[in-house]
Amino acid sequence: MKILSVNAGSSSLKFTLFDMPEEKELISGVFERIGIENSFYTIKLNGEKIKKETELKDHKAAFELLVKELIDNKIVDSLDEIAGIGHRIVQGGSYFDKTVLATEDNISIVEKLSSLAPLHNPAAVVGIRAAQSVFPNATQTLVFDTAFHQTIEKDRFLYPVPYNWYTDYQVRKYGAHGTSHRYVAKKLQEELGRDDLNIISCHLGNGGSITAISCGKCVDTSMGFTPHAGIMMGTRSGDIDVSMVPYVMEKEGKSAGEIMNDLNKKSGFLGISGLSSDSRDIEDGIKEGNERCILAQKMFVNSVIKYIAQYYVLLGHVDVIAFTAGIGEKSISTRSDIIERLAPLGIEIDPEENNVRGKFKKISSKKSSVDIYVVPTNEELMIAEDTLNLIK
């Protein structure tokens, strides 16, 4: 059965087509600059990347072009072979704790939650509508980044602010990267043959979050009301003292929106290093003795170990620390820097085993008190799996 995983942005459309339940990836790619001049798309097929420039008027045009590519490359004979389409939705609020069908009622809730994710939810709805028009016979589903975190208890998802902020305006912790953390937990359970694992999942990329998981359920996560909270990231500051916002507004004559833009797009690795938001560039800067890159890396590691240590205590005992996403899967030095700081907990990495990128592997030493794994994430596969299960 062919299932399409979709992630629609305001001017982009990422996709991966799977043959399920074999979990075989048939084609993937991204349409970019939709509705903007110089639009193009890239597809990955049989290990080869192909880039094509074309006019992309809207998301529907992107889906129509996708159908043409699928037929031209003999992946399908007709669009009716696409049995299901799973849509990634950033914000599901407290309404959804699992993947659901894309009914009109559910889509209207996604639209209603746009104020909590103004850059993401409206774009997702555009993608859903476009997919429905091009693939009228496919089962459409909604897969929420926030759903996995709905098992967090109230004393951890609430903020110590006036209670009516929660009751009147839905101010609470929602988290993000839930589909990725859920995949990591599921993969470890399958590989280790245990469903009772206590896991600290470290999704470290340009965006990052740490999640405490017990028996497959989320106990707490570092991201909060928005994906801005938690650890330091590529361009996001992570946790800060909010009192600095009005202070800097006054000093620089900026609006709240301008300060939020600074905190979301000009902070983190980029803000501290002054060089780049990309961890690879930071590592290169460190090798060259760039002091601000060295500082940025130390601050990033500090923010990560703060949450790992906190969740170590919260869970009572930890079976696995998992590293996933771009930095987590590929940065040998960052994993080493983080685990080195956890030595007081008896956690230790094996330098030889740690010499790995993008592969599922145990990298802890034999005497480590906690097993450490690299677990490549696959949110697209998780979306396809959920969609397959709803079709069944």
**Cβ contact 328:203 at 8 Å:** yes
Active site residue 145: yes
pLDDT at 80: 86
pLDDT at 121: 86
pLDDT at 67: 86
Distance CA 43, CA 61 (A): 16
CA 249 to chain centre: 30
Distance CA 8, CA 12 (A): 6
**Cβ contact 63:30 at 8 Å:** no
Closest CA to 86 of 39, 171, 16: 16
B/e letters for 259-270, b = 16+ CB within 10 Å, e = fewer, are: beebbbeebbbb
pLDDT at 152: 97
- Work out the number of other CB atoms within 10 angstroms of the CB of residue 37: 6
| Average confidence (pLDDT) over 215-226 | 94
Which pLDDT band, with edges at 50, 70 and 90, does 373 fall under? Answer: very high
Residue pLDDT, tens place only, 54-74: 888 888 888 888 888 888 888
Three-class SS of the chain:
CEEEEEEECCCEEEEEEEECCCCEEEEEEEEECCCCCCCEEEEEECCEEEEEECCCCCHHHHHHHHHHHHHHCCCCCCHHHEEEEEEEECCCCCCCCCCEECCHHHHHHHHHHHHHCCCCHHHHHHHHHHHHHHCCCCEEEEEECCHHHHHCCHHHHCCCCCHHHHHHHCCCCCCCCHHHHHHHHHHHHHHHCCCCCEEEEEEECCCEEEEEEECCEEEEECCCCCCCCCCCCCCCCCCCCCCHHHHHHHHHCCCHHHHHHHHHHCCHHHHHHCCCCCHHHHHHHHHCCCHHHHHHHHHHHHHHHHHHHHHHHHHCCCCEEEEEHHHHHHCHHHHHHHHHCCHHHCCCECCCCCCCCCCCEECECCCCCCEEEECCCCHHHHHHHHHHHHHC
Q: Over pLDDT 90: what percentage of the chain?
A: 71
Q: What is the mean pLDDT of the chain?
A: 92
pLDDT at 97: 92
- Work out the number of other CB atoms within 10 angstroms of the CB of residue 256: 10
pLDDT(10) > 80:
no
pLDDT(198) > 90:
yes
Distance CA 181, CA 178 (A): 5
Q: Which of 58, 145, 168, 337 is catalytic?
A: 145
- Work out the number of other CB atoms within 10 angstroms of the CB of residue 243: 8
pLDDT at 203: 95
Residue pLDDT, tens place only, 134-167: 889 999 999 999 999 999 999 999 999 999 999 9
Which pLDDT band, with edges at 50, 70 and 90, does 22 fall under? Answer: very high
pLDDT(283) > 80:
yes
Own/partner long-range contacts of 329-332 (Cβ < 8 Å, ≥24 apart): 329/357, 329/358, 329/374, 329/375, 329/376, 329/377, 330/357, 330/358, 331/204, 331/279, 331/280, 331/283, 332/356, 332/357
Residue pLDDT, tens place only, 118-133: 778 888 888 898 889 8
